[in-house]
């Protein structure tokens, strides 16, 4: 008995049958005496379809109008879900982001939630209603609708759970929880019973598609008890918790991220300040750089290579070309056919030899490593995209096959 926040993703509400299924799950929780607040995503591919619709009319539509359009997807699913719950005979109300008091900053299409004014939700809960809130959206100080970035409904749910001091935040999806690797191509991958916030955050940022990374950040900050589970069965999901509460594993998961591109500046002057010049100009344009490698200079020339998100490749190249008079690279090379493969595990901190084992797995699989980056709880390598799935399998089975 308490306050439960649930989130249902797009596949969980993709058609009438699934909406009814979700309605039953929600009312079951309510029948147990809980207050229930639900955040919902748009049905199935609705958001993608809306983006396509916009492109037919204007490839460069303003972000404000894109948010206005994309927010409609969630408005469809909240009303349909509320109707389904009405049909089952339970008191319910659907609320858009602004009706629910979700206040964001002004960054259209990538807004961050600043606070949730919970009076409306509280008063609906006092009336014993189930409250269905549109995920992914909020309102900014200009009274404009904003969206939180793709996958943002997870963050809506966690923000609601934090603001309402919910007992638990359950994220329902179409998989059973968080896996050690993507089970679609890694056949030995298995579901984790639990994982720490930091590990989940790394996995989410490194290409595991289960949770929006900001939702994990927020869960950690506000100590929200998070579980990821399937809306299609009653299996125990994965719990995301404080690191002290989970068993330390050397490697908890292996991911690959195809959304990266490599840029190489070949033959730049081997003088102080070169790297600073290049990365400052990228940073100023809001382009984040990920893996970086610089070759040993010979006193005359050196090479600097780095990766950016594929979506930032064009802008990065343009910027570098424009600044060639300053950078003076002999050649600027780039490639999109690369993938970042990473391992994450809180147990790595105190263990040497993890990197060596990872590289051994790649060596045995005859996969060439192009770049390497390490931090406390993760190691990433860049490989050819065509090798990425094989790399994940090889590394996974080396560390996680018992
Ligand atoms: N509907 C939005 C998207 O497809 C938000 C979400 O599903 O979390 O990205
Ligand atoms: Mg999602």
Mean residue pLDDT of the chain comes to 95
Q: How far is the CA of 155 from the centre of ligand 2 (A)?
A: 10
Token match 């991911």: residue? Answer: 255
Which atom in ligand 1 lies closest to the alpha carbon of residue 10?
7
| Ligand 1 contact, 151 CB (< 6 A) | yes
pTM over cut 0.85: yes
Rg (CA), the chain: 23
pLDDT band, very low/low/confident/very high, at 298 (cuts 50, 70, 90): confident
* DSSP code string of 156-215: HHHHHHHHTT-SEEEEEESSSS-BSS-TTT-TT--B-SEEEHHHHHHHHHTT--SS-HHH
Determine what percent of the chain is predicted with pLDDT higher than 90: 89
Q: How far is the CA of 96 from the centre of ligand 1 (A)?
A: 15
Which atom in ligand 1 lies closest to the alpha carbon of residue 153?
8
Q: Which has the minimum average pLDDT: 34-48, 208-222, 286-300, 311-325?
A: 286-300
| Ligand 1 contact, 72 CB (< 6 A) | no
| Ligand 1 contact, 101 CB (< 6 A) | no
pLDDT at residue 170 greater than cutoff 80: yes
For 247-258, b/e burial (b = at least 16 CB within 10 A) is: eebbbbbbbbbe
Say which residues have a Cβ less than 8 Å from residue 23's Cβ, sequence separation at least 6. 81, 84, 85, 87, 88
| Ligand 1 contact, 10 CB (< 6 A) | yes
Which atom in ligand 1 lies closest to the alpha carbon of residue 152?
8
Contact status, residue 131 vs residue 29, Cβ threshold 8 Å: no
| Ligand 1 contact, 42 CB (< 6 A) | yes
- The tokens for 11 are 């596949």
Instruction: Ligand 1 pocket test: pick from 52, 78, 135 the residue with the most ligand atoms within 8 Å of its Cβ.
Output: 135
- The tokens for 204 are 């989410």
| Ligand 1 contact, 97 CB (< 6 A) | no
The residue-averaged pLDDT of 291-315 equals 92
The residue-averaged pLDDT of 77-98 equals 98
| Ligand 1 contact, 47 CB (< 6 A) | yes
- Ordered alpha helix ranges (H), 8-148: 16-31, 46-57, 63-87, 119-126
Q: How far is the CA of 11 from the centre of ligand 2 (A)?
A: 9
Contact status, residue 308 vs residue 287, Cβ threshold 8 Å: yes
pLDDT at residue 351 greater than cutoff 90: no
Phi, psi at residue 40, to the nearest 5°? -125, 145
Residue 33 CB-density burial (10 A; 0-12 exposed, 13-18 middle, 19+ buried): exposed
The residue-averaged pLDDT of 17-38 equals 98
pLDDT at residue 136 greater than cutoff 80: yes
The residue-averaged pLDDT of 305-326 equals 95
Please report which ligand is nearest the Cα atom of 152: 1
pLDDT of residue 350: 78
| Ligand 1 contact, 153 CB (< 6 A) | yes
The residue-averaged pLDDT of 191-208 equals 93
pLDDT of residue 311: 92
Q: How far is the CA of 279 from the centre of ligand 1 (A)?
A: 32
pLDDT band, very low/low/confident/very high, at 261 (cuts 50, 70, 90): very high
pLDDT of residue 83: 98
Q: How far is the CA of 364 from the centre of ligand 2 (A)?
A: 34
pLDDT of residue 200: 96
| Ligand 1 contact, 135 CB (< 6 A) | yes
Determine what percent of the chain is predicted with pLDDT higher than 70: 100
Residue 265's H or E segment, with its range, is: strand 253-269
Q: How far is the CA of 212 from the centre of ligand 2 (A)?
A: 6
Q: How far is the CA of 40 from the centre of ligand 1 (A)?
A: 9
371-375 and 253-269 strand pairing: unpaired
pLDDT at residue 349 greater than cutoff 90: no
Q: How far is the CA of 151 from the centre of ligand 2 (A)?
A: 4
pLDDT at residue 402 greater than cutoff 80: no
Q: What is the pLDDT of residues 368-383, one digit of tens each?
A: 999 999 989 999 999 9
The residue-averaged pLDDT of 293-304 equals 88
Paired residues of 333 in beta bridges: 264
pLDDT of residue 347: 87
The residue-averaged pLDDT of 7-25 equals 98
pLDDT of residue 138: 98
């Amino acid at each position: 008995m308490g306050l439960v926040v649930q989130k249902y993703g797009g596949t969980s509400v993709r058609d009438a049958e699934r909406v009814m299924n979700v309605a039953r799950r929600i009312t079951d929780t309510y029948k147990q005496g809980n207050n229930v607040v639900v955040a919902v995503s748009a049905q199935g591919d609705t958001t993608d379809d809306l983006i396509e619709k916009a492109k037919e009319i204007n490839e460069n539509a303003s972000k404000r109008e894109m948010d206005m359009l994309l927010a409609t997807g969630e408005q469809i699913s909240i009303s349909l879900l509320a109707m389904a719950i009405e049909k089952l005979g339970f008191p319910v109300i659907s609320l858009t982001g602004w009706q629910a008091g979700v206040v964001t900053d002004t960054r259209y299409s990538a807004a961050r939630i600043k606070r949730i004014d919970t009076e409306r939700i509280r008063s609906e809960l006092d009336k014993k209603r189930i409250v269905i809130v549109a995920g992914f959206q909020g309102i900014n100080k200009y009274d404009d609708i904003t969206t939180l970035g793709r996958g943002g409904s997870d963050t809506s749910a966690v923000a609601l759970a934090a603001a309402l001091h919910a007992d638990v935040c359950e994220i329902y999806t179409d998989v059973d929880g968080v896996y050690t690797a993507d089970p679609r191509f890694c056949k030995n991958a298995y579901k984790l019973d639990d994982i720490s916030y930091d590990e989940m955050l790394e996995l989410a940022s490194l290409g595991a598609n289960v949770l929006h990374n900001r939702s994990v950040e927020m869960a950690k900050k506000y100590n929200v008890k998070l579980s990821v589970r399937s809306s299609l069965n009653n299996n125990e999901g994965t719990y995301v918790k404080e690191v002290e509460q989970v068993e330390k594993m050397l490697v908890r998961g292996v991911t690959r991220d195809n959304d990266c591109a490599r840029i190489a500046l070949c033959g730049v002057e081997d003088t102080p300040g070169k790297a600073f010049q290049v990365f400052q100009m990228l940073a100023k344009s809001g382009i984040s750089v990920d893996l970086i490698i610089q070759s040993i200079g010979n006193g005359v020339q050196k090479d600097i290579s780095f990766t950016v998100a594929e979506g930032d490749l064009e802008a990065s190249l343009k910027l570098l070309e424009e600044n060639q008079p300053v950078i003076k690279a002999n050649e600027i090379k780039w490639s999109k056919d690369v993938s970042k493969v990473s391992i994450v595990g809180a147990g790595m901190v105190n263990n040497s030899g993890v990197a060596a084992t990872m590289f051994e797995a790649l060596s045995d699989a005859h996969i060439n490593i192009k770049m390497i980056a390490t931090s406390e709880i993760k190691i990433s390598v860049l490989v050819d995209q065509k090798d990425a799935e094989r790399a994940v399998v090889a590394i996974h089975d080396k560390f996680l096959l018992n």
